[in-house]
Amino acid sequence: MKSKPRPAYCPVSPKRLERMVWLLRPQTIHAIRLEASLEEANRLVREKGFHAETATVLDLVQHAQQFTLAVAVAKIMERPWREDTDVASIPELARLLEMRDVRRLLIWTALKTWSGRSQARSCGRAIRRALGVYQQLQSGSELGEARNALQMLRNKELAHSLWTEALVPRPRYNDLFALVDIAQAFLEHADLAIRGANGSFDEHDEFFTRLSRDFWTPALTAAAAYDPHEMPRRSGGPTR
């Protein structure tokens, strides 16, 4: 059977798509690390009781981690504001995968370099699954609105203090975790479609969950047992 010729035109090269995946994977792994730490700490906080002083410090640590995760997710989910953008983000990668010429080139590349037609069909399925995952962020959806709120948080409240702007609500844990899950699922399918690689994040999930448990369990167990009233208090404090 005569092989199909290379598609005559494609608005983007496969190398650019590979580069985008290569940039997005470590950012997503960073978000997974933060999510694992927050989830494990939250689980232990619910199980144990803490003195007010300890709870205040824990809230400060978790608040910092929460906003670090929010910025990481906002970066991964940044929506391109023009078509010739150099931003590497999931919305931009999804926009490119939605182009017919891009899909045709990826399937043609898979046919030539993977191991035949069955693998080319796998490429097509992976593209459809990646775009199916991305549809959860469509305009008007709850997660789509959460993604937009994170963008506003990063661009306005974290970058500037504008008295003319209303404050953006603090991001919710559930929204952040759901957006990280979408990033993982999308990139796993996109990685298969673009590089023919197994892009599973399962090992990272398991590793960071175990690492977080090994840190937070003894730390919060000791914090729960600590009684500040049994220790000599330092004089002084904040003046304002």
Residue 233: the pLDDT is: 52
Tokens of 70: 């929010």
pLDDT mean over 118-132: 88
pLDDT mean over 119-147: 86
Residue 192: the pLDDT is: 93
Listed in order, strand segments (DSSP E) in 14-169 are none
Other Cβ atoms within 10 Å of 134 Cβ, number:
21
Distance CA 128, CA 124 (A): 6
CA pseudo-torsion sign 85, 91, 93, 99:
negative
User: pLDDT > 90: what percent of the chain?
Assistant: 38
pLDDT surpasses 90 at 202: yes
What pTM was estimated for this model as a whole? 0.83
**pLDDT single digits (tens) 174-200:** 999 999 999 999 999 999 999 888 889
Cα angle: 48, vertex 175, 19; to 5 degrees: 120
Residue 157: the pLDDT is: 66
Domain boundaries, the chain: 14-224
Distance CA 156, CA 166 (A): 10
Of the candidates 199, 152, 198, the one whose C-alpha atom is nearest the C-alpha of residue 24 is 199
